[in-house]
Amino acid sequence: MTVNDTQTTTSVPRLAARRLSKLYGHVAALDDVSIDFRPGLNGIIGDNGAGKSTLLKILSGVELPDEGAVFVDGRPTLLVSTRAARAAGIESLYQDLALVDTMSIADNIFLGRERIRRVLGVPIVDRRRMRNEADAALREVRIRMPSARVGVRQLSGGQRQAVAITRAMLFGARVVLLDEPTAALGPRETAAALRIVRDMADRGETVVMVGHNLPQMLELADALIVMRAGRVVASVDPAHTTLRDLTDFMVGSNA
Amino acid sequence: MGVDDQTKIEGERPTEDGQPLAAARISEYVSRIGRDTIVALALVGALGMLLAIFGIASNGREFIGANIIQIVDSGTILGVVAIGEVIVMISGELDISVGSNAGLVTAVTAEVVLHLNGSVALGIVAGLAAGVLTGAVNGFVVAYLRISSVIATLATFSAFSGIALLLTNGNPVGVTSNFLASVGTGTIASIPWLVIILIVIALVAVFGMRFTLPGHNVYAVGGSAEAARLAGIRVQRYVLGVFALSGFCAAIAGIMLVGQTGTAQPTEGSVGLELTAITAVLLGGTGLTGGTGTVLGAFLGVMVLSTLDDGLLLIGVPSFWQQVATGALLLIGVILQDVGGHRARWRTLHAARRRAHPTDVPFEVEGR
């Protein structure tokens, strides 16, 4: 991404959903949803069944919408697979983090995008380079971490989270999607993981985070979207919103 | 909840003195030298011990020396099959059909040679093609029809033997070929050709699995197919590929068998290979769950099994005992490989019990 890009995209949202609808059987999981996601931390909240996960699945290329389109930097982009979403600069962190337990930290960070040397045309995995780059990137997330050659199986929940986030950052993702990144973490690890997320947003990444913890989201997010029954019911500035407002939006008592 | 710059994730398992748990230290140490290296060294040690024991027991009757080549030689066909099998098992699947696939390949090769004016080249090509095709059928059923590989290859195990028997009417078919005979029984510089073939295949497989991107991806698929898929690895193609590769190895083994015996043996000498190959692979440190293990380990596993067989034969132990010994060896080997795991679990449990006593750690429920 060039400097010029970042300047011109301040008016065009990095990622935009336009009139997205998705039916599961007769249930409208998403109903005419349009959202702009700009650099910073975009929080999405809503009760179970509000459509948050479906929205995230569409943005990450896991599902295709029945109607509507996704725009990346103002261009309509067909996200037919997670691979296509990645190519468009959208990285997803899944709830279970999708790490390969039997592999090392470095291998996981570079999974699917290994550093390669070609010897007589044969692609050789450049493990030393992957380890060095992974170690350097892990230092940046400021989480105590063993050497990148250690197996992921031996990490705690928070460290696994850090590996997944590092993976997203290292590849210059323009948009990072997080589905309840702290759901499986203890209190201390939650704080550390949220700090990484906040750091990422402060660096100008566009972070989209689904969460259940309203006070946490209110404190952390730069913009908050409230969903209910497959629709966006509010798009608010957390600085001028109270917890009470949010719960009202979620249950629909002031809509 | 505050987002505090001072917050550190400390591995969640610090002991009171802030040191990481002993179990974590041990397993980090193991992962630094590499569990695979430890297993390989242990197997080499076991080989050395077996050679020494049999050497002494047979009063050094030329056991060491000339016999080492003979030991390798008696494990060549099994070795090639095991190399295909270990790659399948690293990918998290199992191929039960390799033995009967090898038998089918001998039948195809023999029939083609017999009916096409003794063209051995065509016979070999047809045999290899048959092996790859049957392997690909396995892979297709597992990867795209999503049938468990145990069930799929159990079915083809039966079907392939049936086809081999149909092709040959159940009779051994003689193959007269100087080329195949000299490959199957001949030597160069007193090293049998079959040994050279096995070594070449083993080296290519070790290199491919250890260093290349496709090998790396097979480990990823076996470790977690879901994570691999989400990372953009084309999991189904890899599954199809490893089964085709396993079929290719079975085909090489089948052709080696034809060379060695001069006949197509629809079931003799081939069916049963699959279980011995799986035994060797397990002995070599590869698990059933995928993502772990090495080709070198499988190779050494084959060598240990051949040494055991040859050695017991040499010192005159009845062959029934060989089977008992193989079984015992497999159990001991697999239990020893997991000692690290048992210890780590035991220590974790122990530490958890110690922590379970009331402490001042606040219990906090995540907001929901």
The pLDDT tens digits for B45-99 are 988 888 888 877 777 665 566 677 777 888 899 999 999 999 999 999 999 999 9
Q: What is the pLDDT of residue A113?
A: 86
Nearest to A154 among B24, B211, B226 (CB): B24
The pLDDT-based confidence of A2 (bands split at 50, 70, 90) is very low
B107/B103 Cα distance (integer angstroms) = 6
Selected residue with higher pLDDT from B314 and A109: A109
For A85, name the nearest residue in chain B, comparing CA atoms only: B232
Q: Which of A100, A192, A193 sits opposite B291 (nearest CB)?
A: A100
Q: What average pLDDT does this structure show over A224-240?
A: 88
Q: Tokens in use for B364?
A: 């906090």
Is A156's CB within 8 Å of B233's CB? no
pLDDT tens-place string over residues A176-189:
888 887 777 777 77
**CA of B302 vs chain A CAs: smallest distance (Å):** 24
Which of B128, B92, B341 lies closest to B248, judged by CA? B128
Q: Which has the closest alpha carbon to A152: A113, A192, A107, A197?
A: A107
Set of chain B residues whose Cβ sits within 8 Å of the Cβ of A144: 8-11
CB spacing of A151 vs B31 below 8 angstroms: yes
Nearest-CA distance from B24 to chain A in Å? 7
B62 φψ region: left (φ > 0), alpha (ψ -120 to 50), beta (else): left
pLDDT at B314: 78
B287 touches chain A (CB under 8 A): no
Distances (CA, A) of A91 to A59, A179, A188, B266: 9, 11, 25, 53
Quote the CA–CA distance of A223 and A40 in Å, as a whole number: 8
DSSP-derived secondary structure letter, B362? P
Q: Which residue of A has its CA nearest to B207?
A: A124
The answer to whether the CB of A45 falls within 8 A of the CB of A214 is: yes
| In the block, residue with structure tokens 């906090």 | B364
The domain made up of B75-337 has a fold known as: ABC transporter involved in vitamin B12 uptake, BtuC (1.10.3470)
β-pairing, A75-77 with A122-125?
unpaired
Q: Which of A34-43, A126-135, B29-38, B353-362 has the lowest mean pLDDT?
A: B353-362
Please judge whether A112 and B24 are an interchain contact, meaning their C-beta atoms are less than 8 angstroms apart. no
The partner residue sitting opposite A111, judged by closest CB among B5, B220, B362, is B220
Is B243 in a helix, a strand, or coil? helix
Residue with tokens 């089918």: B104
Q: Look up residue A191 and give its two tokens.
A: 């704080």
Nearest to A146 among B28, B219, B233 (CB): B28
By the 8 A CB rule, do A165 and A197 touch? Answer: yes
Q: Which of B31, B90, B230 to mutate to test the interface with A (most CBs of A within 10 A)?
A: B230
How much of chain B, in percent, has pLDDT values that exceed 90? 40
The dihedral through the CA atoms of A22, A28, A29, A35 has a sign that is positive
> What pLDDT, on the 0 to 100 scale, is given for residue A8?
44
Q: Given this model, what pLDDT does residue B146 score?
A: 92
Question: Is the pLDDT reported for residue A38 higher than 50?
Answer: yes
DSSP assignment letter at B314: H
Residues of A in contact with B216 (CB under 8 A): 107, 114, 125
**Bridging pattern class, strands B187-188 and B191-192:** antiparallel
Query: Could you tell me whether strands A175-179 and A90-93 are parallel, antiparallel, or unpaired per DSSP bridges?
Result: parallel
pLDDT at A50 over 50: yes
Strands (E), chain B: 173-174, 187-188, 191-192, 263-264
- Whether A114 and chain B come into contact, CB under 8 Å, resolves to yes
If one counts every other C-beta atom within 10 angstroms of the C-beta of residue B151, the result is: 13
In b/e form, how buried is each residue of B340-367, taking b as 16+ CB within 10 angstroms? beeebeebeeebeeeeeeeeeeeeeebe
Other CB atoms within a 10 A radius of the CB of residue B33 amount to 10
Inter-chain contact A82–B24, Cβ cutoff 8 Å?
no
Residue A1: the pLDDT is: 40
Q: Which residues 6+ apart lie within 8 Å of B241 measured at CB? A: B139, B214
Pairing type for strands A40-46 and A206-210 reads parallel
Q: Which residues of chain B have pLDDT under 70?
A: 1-33, 60-66, 118, 339-348, 350-368
Q: Which residues of B touch A149 (CB under 8 A)?
A: 31-32
- Burial (CB count <10 Å: 0-12, 13-18, 19+), residue B206: middle
The predicted complex's ipTM stands at: 0.75
The domain locations on chain B are 75-337
Strands A206-210 and A175-179: parallel
Per-residue pLDDT band for A96 (boundaries 50, 70, 90) equals low
d(CA B104, CA B305): 25
